[in-house]
């Protein structure tokens, strides 16, 4: 049993890949296998990142060691040359001493005394030159050399401090020493001092015995001021969020890590005070970065924001490894989640703006006599699909545990972005249906194109987009997701409202033109000779509308055979009797997205307006005959377009019946003459016989 478990343990040398895969396939479902794969990929990426970090650190150490070895080799080569030269010089000196020994042997004692006197004089010369030497080193900023030389000379000079000349030299040297010490303290306090100068100043001050607590407090204060200066520069000098993060990565964060390293090297036991200062300043940086991230107002900058966020996350992760006990990763993860929500909200606003722009382009295209309505509807749908489609981006923080980022982001992408985008699209449909503001006088065809785009979206693209999002982020309905049926139902409802609004506005426009043409006609003085021009024009407009719908929605545009066995109305009694049995017309039936259903809705509105206009007037004998001719023409031209010609027959009968009821002595045209009259062109009549009633 132990050997079998070793075979299935990835960390054991006896691990068997095939056995492990067979075990997974046997025990786990498809979702479990997908989850297992994602966990393995995440683990591999983490290990790969750690390996890269270790390789990078070892490479730096290797380069440093190589440079050190090369430098030592060069120094040994130079030292070997100098030793050879020294050996030759010593040999020459030895031979000279041997030759001089015989010559100066008799005066050896005098020479020794002279040499001793020379050393004393030379020492006195160096003592008197000490203040000048120290001042020269001080001016050249060799503060370490000043301190070293004074400490060496002080021990000897203290023995002769009672001598006025020596005392003067000592005082001058002490003054320069004090100036050097003060300069080191100033260098430590100056926030503009670099890290190397600060480290040198601390080392020298501790070397000469300066109080350790005082130096440590000054170092912390100086570090705090330096970090605040960096923050001040960052807050006023950045072009965008990526520029801010880049500059913080080049100045503030390296400065912070160097301060921590220097302090730990010198004052390791006082690390708590250091962490307090670093946390305070890091909180200020985090607040500044958060403010800039969350102040972004353009969704087009989303890619820049994501790059900056990834770079900032990597820098903070590095700080956590470099400075033990200094972990700002939780705050950074909170920022990532907040920025993702902010960018989703911006993207939602941008989606609505892009859709509004696409609809405005459709309006302009229709003004410019664009005929391809299907292409316009596809354009609106594609704009929406392109805007809401979520693309996967390879970023470091995507490898965080699911409960820290991925899970919340996936839910936000589905609910706050995708579902809300459909809702905003539907709200835009409500705006166009209401017809307020700038869309008050739009071409009704815009409503039709918009409705068709919504219908296509609900039938196919909506399901595809929602399922794609769920697959990309491994979401399941148990996580509280909005049901796909709810989204598609909302979109279909808006499409239905828009197509009904299109039918009403188109029918109203055609009906108004029909009534205006009828009321402006002259009083007929004889039996009608043809169909009125406005009625004939209505038939042409209906045919054009039918052709547009056919090109947009498909369907046969060839007129169907409308010959039916209808008993013609020949008397007023027939009209009164038929009005009792005419079909009831429902104006609120659902409009289907096909040519016949939409054109039927338009015809209902037009004929209803025609009927109501007839009911507002009274007619003469010839006026009723004209209405009969017009009704026959409308029945013949419109019945071929609608899905149910009973609707046209019933409403035309109502119109004629209403005209008969409003005439004292009605006489109808014989049915055999109606077809002949419908083929006649409209006659020109003198305008002097115009009547306010129209007949």
Please, what's the b/e burial string for 136-160 (b: 16 or more CB within 10 A of its CB; e: otherwise)? ebbeeeebbbbbebbeebeeebeee
Examine the domain organization and report whether 232 and 304 are in the same domain.
Answer: yes
Helix (H, G, I), strand (E, B) or coil at 690: strand
Q: What is the four-CA torsion angle of 617, 619, 622, 624, rounded to 10 degrees?
A: 80
pLDDT in tens, 18-27: 787 888 888 8
Report the number of distinct structural domains present in the chain.
4
Give, to the nearest 10 degrees, the angle between helix 30-104 and helix 17-27: 140
- Of 261, 249, 404, whose CA–CA distance to 340 is shortest? 404
Please indicate, yes or no, if residue 470 is contained in any of the structural domains.
yes
Residues 483 and 536 in one domain: no
Q: Whole-angstrom Cα distance, residue 141 to residue 183?
A: 10
For residue 138, pLDDT beyond 70: yes
Query: Is there a single domain that holds both residue 316 and residue 360?
Result: no
Grouping H, G, I as helix, E, B as strand and the rest as coil, residue 619 is strand
- Check if the beta carbon of residue 660 is closer than 8 Å to that of residue 575: yes
Handedness of CA 98, 100, 101, 103 (dihedral sign): positive
- Among 71-85, 133-147, 154-168, 202-216, which stretch is predicted with the lowest mean pLDDT? 154-168
Q: What count of other Cβ atoms lies within 10 Å of the Cβ of residue 559?
A: 13
Question: Do 348 and 320 belong to one domain?
Answer: no
Please return the burial class of 681, using the count of CB atoms within 10 Å of its CB with bins 0-12, 13-18 and 19+. Answer: exposed
Q: Does 29 have pLDDT greater than 50?
A: yes
Compute the distance between CA of residue 611 and CA of residue 157 in angstroms, rounded to an integer.
Answer: 128
Q: Does residue 524 form part of some domain?
A: yes
Residue 180 belongs to some domain of the structure: no
pLDDT tens digits, one per residue of 420-454: 999 999 999 888 888 877 777 888 899 999 999 99
pLDDT at 691: 35
- State the pLDDT at residue 452: 92
Across 199-208, 215-224, 553-562, 632-641, least confident range: 553-562
Q: How far apart are CA 579 and CA 661, in angstroms?
A: 11
Q: How far apart are CA 236 and CA 250, in angstroms?
A: 16
284 and 429: one domain? no
Could you report the per-residue pLDDT of 146-187, keeping only the tens digit for each? 777 777 666 666 666 666 776 777 777 777 777 877 777 776
pTM of the model: 0.65
Q: Which residue, 639, 626, 641, is CA-closest to 674?
A: 626
Q: From the centroid of its chain, how far is CA 59?
A: 37
C-alpha–C-alpha distance, residues 593 and 457, integer Å: 13
Lowest mean pLDDT among 317-321, 378-382, 426-430: 317-321
Nearest alpha carbon to residue 224 among 174, 278, 173: 278
Residue 117: band (very low, low, confident or very high) from pLDDT cuts 50, 70, 90: low
CATH (domain of 444): 1.10.357
Please give the pLDDT value at position 687.
40
What is the rounded average pLDDT of the residues 597-604? 90
* Residue 565 banded pLDDT, cuts 50, 70, 90: very low
What is the pLDDT, as a whole number, of residue 157?
67
Strand partners, 663: 619
Question: Taking residues 606-615, what's their average pLDDT?
Answer: 88
User: In this structure, is residue 17 part of a structural domain?
Assistant: no
Instruction: Looking at the structure, tell me whether residues 498 and 352 fall in a common domain.
Output: yes
Buried b (16+ CB within 10 A) or exposed e, 311-331: bbbbbbbebeeebeebebeee
Domain boundary among 477, 504, 531: 504
The chain-wide mean pLDDT, for the chain, equals 79
C-alpha count within 13 angstroms, C-beta hemisphere, residue 372: 4
266 and 320 fall within a common domain: yes
| CA separation for the pair 32, 644 (Å, rounded) | 55
Q: Is the pLDDT of residue 197 over 50?
A: yes
- 496/110 Cα distance (integer angstroms): 128
Q: 522 - beta bridge partners?
A: 690
Residue 577 domain flag: yes
Give the mean model confidence (pLDDT) for residues 40-65: 85
The mean pLDDT value for 395-409 works out to 80
Distances (CA, A) of 276 to 28, 169, 312, 335, 446: 49, 47, 22, 22, 64
CB 459 within 8 A of CB 433: no
Using the predicted structure, report yes or no on whether residue 676 has a pLDDT greater than 50: yes
- How far apart CA 180 and CA 185 sit, in angstroms, is 9
- What length does the chain have? 695
Percentage helix, strand, coil for the chain under 3-state DSSP, each rounded to 5:
80, 0, 20
Query: Hey, what are 73's tokens?
Result: 């080799």
Q: Does the pLDDT at position 522 exceed 50?
A: no
Q: Residue 469: how many CB atoms within 10 A of its CB? A: 21
Residue 185 placed within a domain? no
Of 292, 326, 360, the one marking the end of a domain is 326
Give residue 143's pLDDT.
75
Is 175 among the domain residues? Answer: no
Distance of CA 545 to the CA centre of its chain: 42
At residue 142, φ and ψ (nearest 5 deg) are -90, 70
Residue 224 in tokens: 């705090």
Q: Which of 208-212, 294-298, 344-348, 644-648 has the lowest mean pLDDT?
A: 208-212
Q: Minimum mean pLDDT among 1-15, 63-77, 163-177, 393-407: which range?
A: 1-15
Domain holding 146, by residue range, is: 30-164
Instruction: Calculate mean pLDDT across residues 306-321.
Output: 86
Residue 681: what pLDDT? 65
Sequence-distant (6+) residues with CB within 8 A of 456 are 377, 378, 381
User: What local confidence, expressed as pLDDT, does residue 572 receive?
Assistant: 53
Per-residue pLDDT averaged across 392-402, rounded? Answer: 75
Over residues 257-272, mean pLDDT:
79
Q: Which two tokens stand for residue 54?
A: 């270790």
User: Which DSSP state fits 643?
Assistant: S
Residue 534 CA to residue 213 CA, distance in Å, equals 103
| Burial (Cβ within 10 Å: 0-12, 13-18, ≥19) of residue 179 | middle
Position 692 scores a pLDDT of 34
Of 28-32, 410-414, 449-453, minimum mean pLDDT range: 28-32
User: Is 127 a member of any domain?
Assistant: yes
pLDDT at 499 (0 to 100): 92
- Examine the domain organization and report whether 608 and 664 are in the same domain: yes
Shared-domain flag, residues 311 and 353: no
Question: Is the same domain home to 527 and 415?
Answer: no
Distance CA 549, CA 563 (A): 24
Are 394 and 541 part of one and the same domain?
Answer: no
pLDDT tens figures, 459-513 = 888 899 888 888 888 888 777 888 999 999 999 999 999 999 999 999 999 988 8
Q: pLDDT band at residue 254, thresholds of 50, 70 and 90?
A: confident
SS3 443: coil
CA 244 to CA 226: how far, in whole Å? 18
Same domain, 357 and 415: yes
């Amino acid at each position: 049993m132990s050997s079998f478990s070793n075979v299935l343990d990835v960390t054991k040398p006896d691990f068997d890949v095939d056995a492990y895969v067979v075990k997974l396939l046997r025990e786990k479902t498809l979702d479990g296998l997908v989850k297992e794969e994602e966990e393995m990929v995440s683990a591999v990426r983490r290990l790969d990142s750690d390996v890269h970090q270790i390789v990078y650190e070892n490479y730096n150490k290797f380069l440093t060691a190589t440079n050190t070895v090369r430098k030592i080799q060069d120094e040994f080569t130079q030292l070997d040359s100098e030793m050879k030269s020294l050996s030759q010089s010593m040999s020459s000196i030895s031979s000279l001493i041997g030759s001089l020994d015989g010559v100066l042997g008799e005066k050896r004692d005098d020479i020794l005394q002279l040499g001793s006197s020379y050393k004393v004089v030379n020492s006195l010369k160096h003592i008197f030159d000490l203040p000048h030497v120290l001042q020269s080193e001080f001016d050249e900023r060799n503060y370490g050399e000043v301190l070293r030389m004074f400490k060496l000379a002080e021990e000897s000079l203290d023995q002769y401090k009672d001598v006025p000349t020596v005392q003067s030299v000592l005082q001058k040297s002490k003054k320069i020493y004090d100036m050097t010490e003060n300069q080191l303290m100033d260098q430590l306090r100056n926030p503009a001092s670099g890290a190397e100068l600060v480290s040198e100043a601390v080392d020298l001050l501790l070397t000469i015995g300066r109080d350790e607590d005082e130096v440590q407090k000054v170092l912390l204060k100086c570090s705090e001021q330096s970090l605040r200066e960096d923050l001040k520069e960052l807050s006023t000098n950045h072009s965008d969020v990526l520029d801010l993060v880049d500059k913080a990565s080049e100045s503030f964060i390296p400065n912070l890590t160097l301060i921590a390293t220097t302090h730990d090297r010198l004052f390791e036991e006082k690390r708590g005070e250091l962490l307090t200062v670093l946390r305070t300043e890091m909180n200020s940086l985090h607040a500044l970065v958060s403010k800039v991230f969350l102040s972004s107002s353009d969704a087009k900058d989303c890619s820049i924001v994501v790059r900056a966020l990834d770079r900032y996350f990597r820098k903070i992760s590095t700080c956590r490894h470099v400075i033990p006990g200094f972990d700002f990763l939780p705050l950074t993860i909170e920022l990532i989640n907040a920025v993702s929500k902010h960018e989703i909200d911006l993207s939602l606003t941008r989606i609505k703006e892009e859709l509004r722009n696409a609809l405005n382009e459709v309006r302009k295209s229709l003004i410019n006599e664009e005929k391809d309505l299907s292409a316009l509807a596809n354009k609106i749908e594609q704009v929406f699909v392109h805007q809401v489609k979520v693309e996967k981006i390879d970023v470091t923080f995507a490898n965080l545990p699911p409960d820290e980022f991925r899970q919340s982001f996936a839910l936000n992408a589905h609910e706050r972005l995708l579902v809300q985008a459909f809702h905003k699209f539907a709200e835009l449909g409500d705006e166009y249906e209401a017809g307020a503001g700038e869309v008050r006088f739009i071409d009704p065809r815009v409503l039709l194109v918009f409705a068709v785009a919504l219908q296509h979206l609900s039938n196919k693209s909506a399901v595809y987009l929602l399922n794609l999002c769920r697959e990309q982020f491994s979401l399941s309905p148990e996580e509280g997701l909005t049901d796909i049926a709810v989204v598609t139902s909302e979109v279909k409802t808006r499409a239905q409202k828009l197509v009904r609004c299109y039918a009403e506005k188109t029918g109203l426009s055609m009906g108004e033109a029909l009534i205006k043409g009828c009321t402006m006609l002259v009083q007929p003085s004889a039996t009608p000779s043809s169909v009125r021009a406005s009625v004939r024009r209505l038939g042409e407009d209906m045919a054009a509308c039918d052709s547009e719908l056919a090109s947009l929605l498909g369907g046969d545009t060839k007129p169907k055979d409308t010959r039916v066995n209808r008993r013609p109305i020949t008397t007023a009694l027939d009209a009164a009797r038929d009005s009792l049995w005419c079909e009831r017309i429902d104006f609120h039936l659902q409009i289907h997205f096909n040519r016949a259903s939409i054109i039927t809705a338009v015809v209902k509105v037009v004929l209803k307006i025609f009927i109501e206009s007839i009911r507002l007037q009274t007619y003469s004998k010839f006026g009723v005959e004209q209405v009969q001719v017009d009704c026959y023409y409308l029945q013949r031209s419109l019945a071929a377009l609608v899905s149910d010609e009973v609707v046209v027959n019933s409403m035309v009968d109502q119109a004629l019946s209403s005209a008969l009821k409003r005439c004292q002595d009605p006489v109808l045209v014989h049915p055999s003459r109606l077809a002949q009259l419908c083929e006649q062109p409209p006659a020109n009549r003198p305008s002097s016989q115009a009547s306010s009633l129209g007949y």
